[in-house]
Each structure stands twice: as C-alpha cells, then as structure tokens.
Structure 1
Amino acid sequence: MISKHPKLTITRQCQLLDINRSTLYYIPAEIDRSEEYAIKWLIDEIYTSHPEYGYRRMTVILNRDYDVKINRKRTRKYMREMNIHGLCPGPNLSKRGRAKYLYPYLLRKMNITKPNQVWSIDITYCRMPKGFMYLAAIIDWHSKYIVAYELSNTMDKGLITRVVNKAIATHGKPDIINSDQGSQFTCDAYISLLKSNGIKISMDGKGRALDNICIERFWRSLKWEKLYLEEYSNGRQLKRLIDEYILHYNTNRPHQTFDYTTPAKIYHGIPFLKISA
C-alpha cells in the first residue's frame, strides 16, 4: 500500500492513510509458547492431584512450590483455556437460561442401578512435548466402564459428536448423558444429536465438578497410573498408551467399589482377561 513515490513522501502517504509512520518499521516478535506450555503442564499435574484447587489457590501453589512467577489473572486465563475449574461442593448460584442450551442436573438423589442408565462425557488435556492433545471419553456411571473415547489435536464439537456416535453404535443408547456446561456441550450439534436419539440431557451446575466426579476420577487414574509415567513424543504414541490403559482399566484393573472386580464384568459380564506383557 505504501511505497516509494516520485511526488509523495513516506510521511505524506502515512498522513493521507491516517496511520502512524512507526508501524511501517514494526516487526512482530515471534511468540515463544514454551513458558506457557510448561506452566500448563504444571497446572494439569497439580489439578489432577488436587481438583479442588481454584485459580487463587493454584496461583499460590505455582509461586510457592514451583517458583513460577504468575498472577491470578494469568492462572485463571490458562485454567479457562484448559477448561478446568476447582471442585465446588457448595450451592449452585448460577442463573439458568443465560445460554440457549443449558439443562438441569438430573442425577441428584437418583438411584443408578444398571448399565446404560447414565453416561458421563468429558474432555481432558493430554500434554505433549509441545502443546496438548484432547481426549474425550464417555463413562458408564453404574459400572465405571469406558464405553468410548476419542483423541484429537483440536477441541471442538466434532470431537464430541464422534465419541457419542461411537458409543451409541457400540453399546446402544443410554437413558441420560451428563456433561459440564462447556461450550462443546452447549452447542446445537451436541444437543441435536442427543435429542435425535431420545437421550435425556443432564448438565453439572456451574462450577460444580463434583456433579461429574465419576469421570474426573478416571482422568486422575489415567494420568497418574499411565501418562505421567511414560515417555511419548507424538500423537500415535500417546494413542497407544491410552488404548493400553483403557483396556487394562476396563478389563483388568480391580475396582474397590465393586469388591475388586472389574468394570467390564459389571457392565456386560466379561470375565477377567489377562493381558500379555
């Protein structure tokens, strides 16, 4: 737009275009995200151990225990980008109806007695050497069995609809699916998919991660028992580790809730399956 001109000087061209001449010489600095990734790694690890921590306490822990110089505003920004928040057992003070697709929490005091009565769906970060990938999973509340999961390098509505369709195709339709109020679960594609299959929609109260505690506990097990112990450098290796762990979790890992039997046994009667090393 601005170039050498036989009659118009650079200064005059800037005046005519109403722009600051100094902007012509500005070279944008390359953004270094290594620090951001490192901090998000720590937030993911701390939150997995202490899901009750909100951004205020998370800021204190990062500064005190990890010597990370960060303020509350930045911690809150990162936690929001990671779609995580502290568990809040208090009353739900959010106002329903502010978003087009908000639904009430249907599971309070519900007696869940059989498989496919209630499923929970959620997304978690899986850290990579540079950045993150996103894992969506659906867990059956009664048996704690993982009925479907999908790994993606983007967190969008397509990830959610794919995992729901996979679960329904493999195991049939549940009576209810519960989620949080994240944007992936309050979009037309997700709501329409559940409604078209006759599935009742349940959502946690705002800031009440305890409402979806079933899958929160699974994320903790996956990360501490597998992902934090293994080395991987790409999505293919991460997917292999997740496949291995979920097979183990469903079919081999004794579950205290069920007198140390397995989720698979409770879900559809599969006996103990020994997996070769």
Structure 2
Amino acid sequence: MRETLSRRSALSLSARLANSSSIRSILKKVRAAGDQSMRKKMIVKDHPLLSIRRQYELLDVNRNRLQGLEPTANTEDQKIMVLLDSIHVREPTFGARRLNAVLRRDHGYSLGRRRLRRLMRAARIRVSYRHPRTGIRAGGHKIYPYLLCGLEISKADQVWCTDITYIPMARGFCYLACVMDWHTRGALGWAVSTTMETTLCLDALTIALATGRCPQIINSDQGSRYTSAAWIKRVKDAGTLVSMDGTGRWIDNVRIERLWRSAKYEDVYLNAYATPRELGKGLADWFERYHATRPHSTLDYRTPRQFHAEEAA
C-alpha cells in the first residue's frame, strides 16, 4: 500500500470510510504512507469531499506546520495596496467608503472595514480634507506648533518640509522619505527603506544637511517618527526650528504632497521596480531629472537647480 497509495486515492478512501468501524485501521495505513513531510504533500487544496481542516486530522499533520496551503494574503494585500495608492493619487479626497466602492466597481475587490483601514495605514493613505483627529501619536511625545501660518516664504532655506510615502513595487513595497526646500522645490535629501522607522527620516535629513545648507524651519506631520526624541534632537542640533502640521491638515505640507504625485506618476508607476536596489537607482535617475531638466510651472518653467542658482546670484 505504501507504493501504490496516491494522495487523492488515500484521502478519498478515508472520506468514504470516515464513518465505518474500521476507520482507525485504515488511517494507520494512510499515515504509514510516509513521514510527516510526505503526508504534507498528500494534502489536496481543492478536494471535493474533504475540507483542508479534515485532511489535517485524517493525515495526522500539524496544521501550524503546513506552508502554502492557505491563500497568500500578503500577495493579495500588496495588489490592493498598489490599487489604493493609485486611486488615492488621482483622488486624494476619497475616504475609506469611496475607495472601497471604486475597488469593488473597477477591480472586483470587496473589503471589510478593518482590512481596508489596515491597508490604508500600511500605504500611508491620508485623506486630503480637514477631519477630526485620526492619527495616533506616540505616547509622551511633544507636538510642536505649526509655524508657517501667515509666513511669507520668499527665499531658499527659509523652510524645509519632509514626509514619508508608500512606494509600490512589482513584489512588495518600500517607503520613501524626502526633505524638500519649500521655496525652490528642490529635493535636498531622500532615502528608501523596506521599513518605516525613524532612521529613514534621519537618513534623508542627514543627506540634506550634507549639502552645506540649513533651514530656519523644518516642517513635518505629527507622525511618531517626526515627534521622536532622535528626530527632534537632530533638527535642534542643526539650529533649526521644529514645525508640525495641524491635525488632519494635509494642506499644511502641500509642497511635498505634490512631489509624491510627480514621483509616482512619472517614475514609479511606469517602471514597476522589482527590488529596493532597482527602486533606489530608478529614483536617483528621476530626482536628477527633476532637478536638472524637468521644467516646473510654479517656477516659471525653470528647474529647481536653475531657480536656486538665480536666487543665489
């Protein structure tokens, strides 16, 4: 029986005899077909008579040790996150209900409320309208006031802004942090990581400060990375004032929100990078074009590099 017993025939035999008095002796023979690794291979995901759970029991296999039998939720989640991100870039005012409606109508996905909000958080999707407090601040972290209200920003290095965004890839995703000069639109420092940690923000800031420039004010959101002690210390050590967006006020950091839109539509969505290394190289090329050759309508169709040089002259 060891030599001739296939996984389908073994499971079918077990199913037919499941209620007979000889089930125990039959199951002993089924289990004798091999060790645990061989019995794992006998599981049939789409068996017409037996559920996955029942097959675990009949073949005496630990369910927790089986791999690859359950649907791969992460893969589907990543596909949905890419769709959510592309919808959000086009329609930044869409909340969870409208996003869910578009997913259901255009892509055939119908998500529960908790799953949708979890994926929105992972993709750093923040609806672009004023709304009640939805962000969760880190306990004990100080929130600094917004210093740009009524401020005329008329020169380079007067104000820098910074943020983190979700970057979809062909497989998986990364996070991009950037520090940008508010007046010249120049992206002074940026960094990519597979995790959204404070070090990602610090890396981008370190690169920006390494240019030899330093702002009077640096503005961010109220996320835990930007309220952390490490971030606040690094900013203050540079002799810079800390400014933070009002709660739910996406427009307070609108400059960098527009940068994300440009980066995604002009590079990320067009190339579908497969690895963080490829993403880093691709973004490096795009940021160089962004500074050197891409005309900006808000700068009278000059590049950030050209505009800054003329301002400094």
Separation of aligned partners in 1, 2:238 and 2:300: 34
CA 1:172/1:40 → structure 2, altered by over 3 Å: closer, same or farther?
same
Selected match of 1:54 from 70, 78, 95: 95
8 Å CA contact retained: 1:139, 1:215 = yes
Please give the TM-score of this superposition, normalised by the length of structure 2. 0.73
8 Å CA contact retained: 1:53, 1:85 = no
Asked if 1:124 corresponds to 2:161, the answer is no
Separation of aligned partners in 1, 2:275 and 2:137: 41
CA deviation string 1:84-105 (max 9, x = no partner) = 2101146889999975221111
My pick for the range that moved more, 109-118 or 193-202, is 193-202
What secondary structure, in the 3-state scheme, does the structure 2 residue paired with 1:120 have?
Answer: strand
Q: Shift in Å at residue 139 of structure 1?
A: 1.0
Task: Specify the alignment match of 1:134 in structure 2.
Answer: 175
Task: Specify the alignment match of 1:223 in structure 2.
Answer: 264
Task: List runs of 5+ in structure 2 lacking aligned partners.
Answer: 1-56
CA 1:169/1:265 → structure 2, altered by over 3 Å: closer, same or farther?
same
Alignment of 1:137-176 (within 5 A): 137-176=178-217
8 Å CA contact retained: 1:134, 1:154 = yes
CA 1:116/1:65 → structure 2, altered by over 3 Å: closer, same or farther?
same
Task: List runs of 5+ in structure 1 lacking aligned partners.
Answer: 1-21, 271-277
Task: Specify the alignment match of 1:81 in structure 2.
Answer: 122
**Letter in structure 2 aligned against 1:27:** N
What secondary structure, in the 3-state scheme, does the structure 2 residue paired with 1:171 have?
Answer: coil
Task: Specify the alignment match of 1:27 in structure 2.
Answer: 64
8 Å CA contact retained: 2:165, 2:177 = yes
Computed over aligned residues only, the root mean square deviation of the Cα atoms, in angstroms, reads 2.6
Separation of aligned partners in 2, 1:113 and 1:119: 12
Q: Shift in Å at residue 72 of structure 1?
A: 2.6
Q: Number of paired residues?
A: 250
8 Å CA contact retained: 2:134, 2:248 = no
Task: Specify the alignment match of 1:206 in structure 2.
Answer: 247
CA deviation string 1:119-140 (max 9, x = no partner) = 1111111112221111111111
What secondary structure, in the 3-state scheme, does the structure 1 residue paired with 2:192 have?
Answer: strand
8 Å CA contact retained: 1:92, 1:208 = no
Separation of aligned partners in 1, 2:138 and 2:81: 32
Separation of aligned partners in 1, 2:137 and 2:147: 14
**Letter in structure 2 aligned against 1:210:** I
Q: Percent identity?
A: 38
8 Å CA contact retained: 2:131, 2:248 = no
8 Å CA contact retained: 1:161, 1:190 = yes
Separation of aligned partners in 1, 2:238 and 2:116: 39
8 Å CA contact retained: 1:83, 1:182 = no
